[in-house]
Chains A and B, each alone.
Chain A
């Protein structure tokens, strides 16, 4: 289907179902129960899952296929956000021009940075991209925000003000990002017994866009172009002596992944019409590297899993505090309860980075292929057990001589 083989089609369908049913899947615990804080099915977080999923899918096209590790991809995300907010300020709150411009601007910006950075490979390439991203951050944070020429609005962040031109804004259209009148914040809440599920317009827009770009990334992975990108990673020497110029291939991959990042940035602004310089900081660039490695570099679904995993930790683990822990361990004797809480304390709340760091180390050491490899091993084990059971069964039915 859609020019994909059977395996890829079923992967696409599974991802499609998971994203469409996410409001149910991510809210397994009834409202008000002790476990309700592990629910991730609220619009803000679900939007972040798919937006960072898009970011990581794009990053994986560069890092997973060509092996070029960029430490500056947050710059393209930030540029995308700024472009989108400028469209809100100048044209209207309709998200279509905003998202279109964010992709185009991020594409041009990554063409420039990629053209220069790709003159080097390996660690030098990584450092160059990092330098460019930090320069972009500095530009956005202070240089391009002065009274004479205010492009980024510095520390405050770029936002839409009442006196902005908004030349295309129609009189009675919503005063928030919208898609031809459908506000991105529109949410329909469905209550089923003790459960409540949120269906948010913004989330579904992001989810559909993610499905489209995920499909495109599968096409790229399976295309001759994708094969050439893997050839770049495998052996550039042989590539050059086979009549192929590896530079335009890596540059094309760099620009494609930059455009994915710009799209993610534009969607972020479309969900919340704000753009701040911190989006371009090196920690944000590092995060997408972690997502890709954690999920499984060079696999199709890995980056999406990694993005979801990290965003879940960031938003859910960080909310667990000592009071919550005390209520969990209330069944223990007082002294023991305090001791357990004392031990767990550094790993929760603000210490969620510590938990994430440990999990990241474990994954990198024991599952170099990331979460995807973990899943595959699990599947294989189940299959082997099953086939063993089948063997045992068939063994019984065979008559003994």
Chain B
């Protein structure tokens, strides 16, 4: 079953056609990669999925419910979590607090005036956060300020924050951009582990072919705002159209 369906989505910025009639469906519990050369519209597409941009035409359905016109926090509450290109975490807060916030958000919804309670009394939530930190191998860093973590740890923390909400769909926007080889491999291992251990659908936008081919089960190639092909990694590798899209741009 397709958990995410994109139907005939178009988006223009003035005279620039960023997306033209994009159709895409992401199967439940699969890892789906969206690749394409620079300017292919990958980020625009992603922003249309999470409520940051409103497409001009078309529909985006998550679990058969439209997400268009909803605020990012509402889309998150439906079960979509997003990992950003540069890790978006609460830098001034401790690692533990970073992990507590999404769990509170999952239990209490978009807003709750719990101004007279103490965090320490929320045993269940604290335990969940501790377990998640343990799973991310970050338990020893719980009192550190998130801003002082290394780039790789920030990424781990962000992924952990998303996973702590048990999302049905995890969106990753170039999760290894700007990372050293070792950090990239760690992130790949982490994502593989997540894929194996959880009932989760992962949609990933990526530049790095190494990452794409080690994770993806389906690949959509986007070029000039339209999907070129959608296929398995093996078939994508040998597809002449894909080569042209990438090499043509280089030439």
Inter-chain CA distance A222–B109, complex, in Å, is 20
The residues of A that contact B108 with a CB separation of less than 8 Å are 224
Of B50, B84, B102, B115, the residue contacting A219 (CB under 8 A) is B115
- Please name the residue on chain A nearest to B102 by beta carbon: A242
Chain B binder among A113-121, A204-212, A229-237: A229-237
Q: Across the interface, do A241 and B88 meet the contact criterion of CB distance under 8 Å? A: yes
Confirm or deny: A147 has a beta carbon within 8 angstroms of a beta carbon on chain B: no
Tell me the number of A-to-B contacts counted with CB atoms below 8 Å.
107
State which of B71, B89, B109, B120 has its C-beta within 8 Å of the C-beta of A238: B89
Q: Is there an interface contact between B104 and A224, defined as CB atoms closer than 8 Å? A: yes
A223, B71: Cβ atoms closer than 8 Å: no
Which of B2-10, B92-100, B206-214 forms contacts with chain A?
B92-100
Residue of B nearest to A246 (CB): B73
The 8 A CB mask of A46-86 against B (1 = contact, 0 = none) is 00000000000000000000000000000000000000000
Q: Report A1 CB to chain B, min CB distance, Å.
A: 13
- B104-A228 in contact (CB<8A): yes
Contacting pair B90 A249 (CB below 8 A): no
Chain A positions within 8 Å of B91 at CB level:
234-235
Chain B neighbourhood of A249, CB < 8 A: 111
B74: shortest Cβ distance to chain A, in Å?
A: 8
Chain B contacts of A243 at CB under 8 A?
A: 73, 76-77, 102, 105-106, 109-110, 165
Asked whether A25 is an interface residue with its Cβ less than 8 Å from the other chain, the reply is no
CB pair A222–B71 under 8 Å, yes or no, is no
- A244-B92 contact in complex given A222-B118, A223-B119, A227-B100, C-beta closer than 8 Å: no
Contact of A225 with B by CB under 8 A: yes
**A241 & B93 in contact (Cβ 8 Å cutoff):** no
**Interface residue from B113, B161, B165 paired with A252 (Cβ < 8 Å):** B113
B window 12-56: CB within 8 A of A: 50
Cβ-neighbour of A230 out of B93, B106, B120 (below 8 A): B93
B220 is an interface residue with CB less than 8 A from chain A:
no
Cβ of B123 within 8 Å of any chain A Cβ, yes or no, is no
Contact between A240 and B119 (Cβ–Cβ < 8 Å)?
Answer: no
Fill in one digit per residue for B116-144: 1 if any A CB lies within 8 Å of its CB, else 0: 11111010000000000000000000000
The reply to whether the CB of A32 lies closer than 8 angstroms to some CB of chain B is no
Q: How far is the CB of B154 from chain A (nearest CB, A)?
A: 11
CB distance from A214 to the nearest CB of B (A): 15
Q: Decide: B92 and A230 in contact? CB cutoff 8 A.
A: yes
Contacts of B109 in A (CB 8 A): 243
CB atoms of A223 and B114 under 8 A apart: yes
> B residues within 8 A CB of A225?
112-115, 117
How far apart are the CA atoms of A209 and B115 in the complex, in Å? 19
- Give chain A nearest CB distance to B84 CB in angstroms: 8
Query: Is A100 in the interface zone, CB < 8 Å from B?
Result: no
Digit string of B56-80 for contact with A (CB within 8 Å is 1, else 0)?
0000000000000001110011000
Interface mask (A97-140 → B, CB under 8 Å = 1, otherwise 0) = 00000000000000000000000000000000000000000000
Interface of A is mostly: helix
Instruction: Name the residue of chain A whose CB is nearest to the CB of B100.
Output: A227
| A residues in contact with B113, CB < 8 Å | 225, 252
Q: Do A235 and B118 have beta carbons less than 8 Å apart?
A: no
Main secondary structure of the interface of B (DSSP, over half): loop
Q: Is the CB of B117 within 8 A of A224?
A: yes
Pick from B71, B72, B77 the residue with the most CB of A within 10 Å: B72
Q: Are B93 and A220 in contact (CB under 8 A)?
A: no
A241 to B93, CA, bound (A): 17
Q: Are A244 and B88 in contact (CB under 8 A)?
A: no
Determine if B116 and A244 form an interchain contact, defined as CB atoms under 8 angstroms apart: no
Whether A227 touches B119, Cβ cut-off 8 Å, given contacts A242-B102, A242-B161, A243-B106, is yes
Give CA–CA (A331, B115) in the complex, Å. 59
Q: Which of A234, A238, A242 has the most CB of B within 10 A?
A: A242
Q: Is A245 an interface residue (CB 8 A)?
A: yes
A235 in complex: contacting residue of B50, B76, B77, B89, CB < 8 Å = B89
Q: How far is the CA of A224 from the CA of B120 in the complex (A)?
A: 9
Minimum CB–CB distance from B159 to chain A (whole Å) comes to 13
Q: Which of A223, A238, A241, A248 contacts B111 (CB 8 A)?
A: A248
Contacts of A238 in B (CB 8 A): 88-90, 161
**Interface-central residue, B71, B114, B115, by most chain A CB under 10 Å:** B115
List chain B residues, Cβ under 8 A from A222. Answer: 118-119
**B78: nearest chain-A partner, CB-CB:** A243
Verify if B82 is at the interface (C-beta below 8 Å from A).
yes
From the candidates A223, A228, A241, A244, name the one contacting B50 in the complex (CB within 8 A): A241
| Residues of chain B with a CB closer than 8 A to A399's CB | none
Does B226 lie at the interface of the complex (its beta carbon under 8 Å from any beta carbon of A)? no
- B72 contacts A240, CB within 8 Å? yes
Contact with B along A302-342 (1 / 0, CB 8 A): 00000000000000000000000000000000000000000
Q: How far is the CB of A9 from chain B (nearest CB, A)?
A: 13
Contacts of A235 in B (CB 8 A): 88-91
Q: Are B97 and A220 in contact (CB under 8 A)?
A: no
In the assembled complex, A193 has its CB within 8 A of some CB on chain B: no
* A and B contact pairs by CB, cutoff 8 A, 29 listed: A3-B118, A223-B115, A223-B118, A224-B100, A225-B112, A225-B113, A225-B115, A227-B100, A227-B104, A228-B101, A231-B90, A231-B101, A234-B90, A234-B91, A234-B92, A234-B93, A238-B88, A238-B89, A239-B73, A239-B90, A240-B71, A241-B50, A242-B102, A242-B161, A243-B106, A244-B73, A244-B110, A245-B111, A256-B115
Contacts from A to B (Cβ < 8 Å)? 3, 5, 219-220, 222-228, 230-231, 233-235, 237-245, 248-249, 252, 256
Q: A3-B118, A240-B73, A241-B84 are in contact. List 7 more A-B contacts (CB 8 A).
A: A227-B93, A241-B76, A242-B102, A243-B73, A243-B102, A245-B71, A248-B111
